Amino acid sequence: MLSTDLQGRGISWPIQSVLGALLLGGLGPIVIEMEGALPLSLQSLLVCWLPLMLGWKAGLTAMLIYLTAGILGLPVFAGHHSGIEVISGPTGGYLLGFPIVAALLGWASDGLVNHPARSQYLAIAAGMILGHVLILAFGIPWQVRFDPSLDVTALVERLLRPIALKSAIGLLLGVVLMRSVQRRA
């Protein structure tokens, strides 16, 4: 939704991709401990938010750059982890779902460029929630392969609060950023 505005300012989608990957690589490893809940990772927040803001080309490319950097050993995954063992381990399904989520959310976002701001805000809210649900849909079955006794229902229940919080943060960031760009135009 911001991609067109950024391109109008001379920031092409490849540059947006690199900036998105840098943002994800810098903030994605941060994990915030929450009392009584699973830790809050900024990783999935950005995986959903970046393609909603930048569109499918820049969003997908940013995810691919990010994953490549992590596989090659840069500590960009949640908790500052890296390496092929992370991708092939219990959380690998979540990570492998990131590019698909980015492509889908970015594609949906590209279709809303000329819609009213209110529609775009609703799309951000829906996209943040849908993106997290899709990440879980990729990650949980993969994780169950490593731990067949995993209580999926309990895991999903524990994830609801962090997902709701990340979705709200993503919406707030999107609205603030979009409004600030519109005011400058």
**25/158 Cα distance (integer angstroms):** 25
| Two tokens, residue 135 | 């990440």
Q: What confidence tens digit (pLDDT) does each residue in 68-79 have?
A: 999 999 999 999
Q: Could you tell me which residue, 109 or 101, shows the higher pLDDT?
A: 101
- List the alpha helices (DSSP H) in the chain: 3-8, 13-27, 42-71, 84-87, 92-110, 117-146, 152-184
What CATH number belongs to 3-184? 1.10.1760.20
Confidence band for 114, pLDDT divided at 50, 70 and 90: confident
Nearest to 113 by CA among 159, 57, 63, 67: 57
Give the model's confidence band at 103: pLDDT under 50 very low, under 70 low, under 90 confident, else very high. Answer: very high
Residue spans of beta strands (DSSP E) within the chain: 31-32, 40-41
Looking at the predicted structure, is the pLDDT value of residue 12 above 70? yes
Per-residue confidence at 60, pLDDT binned at 50, 70, 90? very high
Task: Identify the pLDDT of residue 34.
Answer: 67
Amino acid residing at 159: L
Residue 98 has pLDDT above 70, yes or no: yes
What pLDDT was estimated at residue 185? Answer: 55
pLDDT score recorded for residue 52: 92
Coil vs helix vs strand at 28: coil
pLDDT band at 120 (very low <50, low <70, confident <90, very high): confident
What pLDDT sits at residue 38? 58
Res. 89: pLDDT tops 70: yes
pTM for the structure as a whole: 0.88
What is Dmax (Cα atoms) for the chain?
Answer: 54
pLDDT of residue 28 exceeding 80, the answer is yes
Mean pLDDT along residues 123-136:
92
Mean per-residue pLDDT, 53-73: 96
* Mean pLDDT computed over every residue of the chain: 89
Q: Where are the domains positioned within the chain? A: 3-184
Q: pLDDT at position 39, please?
A: 64
